[in-house]
Amino acid sequence: MTVLLRVEHVTKRFGGLVAVNDVSFELHEGEILGLIGPNGAGKTTLFNCINGVYTPEEGHIYFQGQDITGWKPYDVARFGMARTHQIVRPLADLTVRENVMVGAAFGAKGLGLLDAAMVADEVMEFLGLAERADMLAGSLNVAQKKRLELARALAAQPKLLLLDEVLAGLNPAEIAEMVETVKAIRRRGITIIMIEHVMHAIMNVSDRIIVLDFGQLIAEGTPQEIANHPKVIEAYLGDPKLAERLMSGE
């Protein structure tokens, strides 16, 4: 399998705070990689480094064989990477269709308006936004706005899709549907990294998972390996042996 994305020793600091600390991993084409970790672990910051919103202080990011470290977000987007935002950012005064058209027209394919409108219609249909195509994006509810984020990213027809908590705030039925959607996106040949807090969903959908804690990569492996990894349990629950030690009166 070819390596689509390689992150090498990436470090990002904000003043004295090291938000991402010497993180390295590889991503193969066609994979779904889960990125988990407690709140404030640096997951979104890592996304921002990968797609060019931040320039890391140290390390390199290679995408499709190119060193894209220090590229602007629009250059990264046009080179074939799309993302969604954890805090939704709809273009509120534009219609849903226009929002999705921006993704299609300015993304990896850089389509003309007419083609962008066709792709937008297709993607809205796929994500169940078709009836709301002519509504203003600002008038959607949160679940719909999440889907709009996904629609815009998908309309760009990227090689790599970064999903930042697309399941947060959805009810169980919506989560099940979104998981199916993510799998369907992968079947289209799009590689995915997803940040998620909904554990059963990410365990179910990911091929591999990496875990961040305090900016450091503490574990990497299949969902089963991660679920039983002592460092991961410690990061989420505190010391796993703590209860035993307390019980035995040490």
Compare residues 71 and 217 and give the one whose CB is closer to another protein. 71
CA distance 98 to 104: 10
Nearest to 47 by CA among 138, 136, 162: 162
Nearest to 213 by CA among 26, 14, 8, 23: 23
Is position 41 an interface residue for another protein (rule: CB under 8 A)? Answer: no
CA distance 186 to 189: 5
- In the complex, what is the shortest distance from the CB of residue 178 to another protein, in angstroms, rounded to a whole number? 7
Is position 105 an interface residue for another protein (rule: CB under 8 A)? Answer: yes
Is position 178 an interface residue for another protein (rule: CB under 8 A)? Answer: yes
* 8 Å CB contact between 198 and 175: yes
- In the complex, what is the shortest distance from the CB of residue 190 to another protein, in angstroms, rounded to a whole number? 9
Compare residues 47 and 210 and give the one whose CB is closer to another protein. 47
What φ, ψ does residue 247 adopt, rounded to 5°?
-65, -40
Instruction: Restricting to residues 136-155, name those near another protein by CB under 8 A.
Output: 147, 152
Please name the amino acid found at residue 179: V
* 8 Å CB contact between 148 and 135: no
Per-residue contact string for residues 46-75; x = within reach of another protein by CB under 8 A: -----x-x------------------xxx-
Q: Which of 31, 121, 165, 196 binds another protein (CB under 8 A)?
A: 121
What φ, ψ does residue 17 adopt, rounded to 5°?
-85, 125
58-63: strand order across its sheet: 17-28, 3-14, 58-63, 66-67
- In the complex, what is the shortest distance from the CB of residue 108 to another protein, in angstroms, rounded to a whole number? 8
Compare residues 61 and 211 and give the one whose CB is closer to another protein. 61
Conformational region of residue 111, where left means phi above 0, alpha means psi within -120 to 50, and beta covers everything else: beta
**Stretch touching another protein by CB under 8 A, among 102-110, 201-209, 211-219, 234-242:** 102-110
Can you give the binding site for another protein, defined by CB under 8 A?
A: 51, 53, 72-74, 77-78, 82-83, 85, 89-95, 97-98, 101-103, 105-108, 110, 112-123, 125-128, 130, 134, 147, 152, 156-157, 174, 177-178, 180-181, 183-184, 187-189
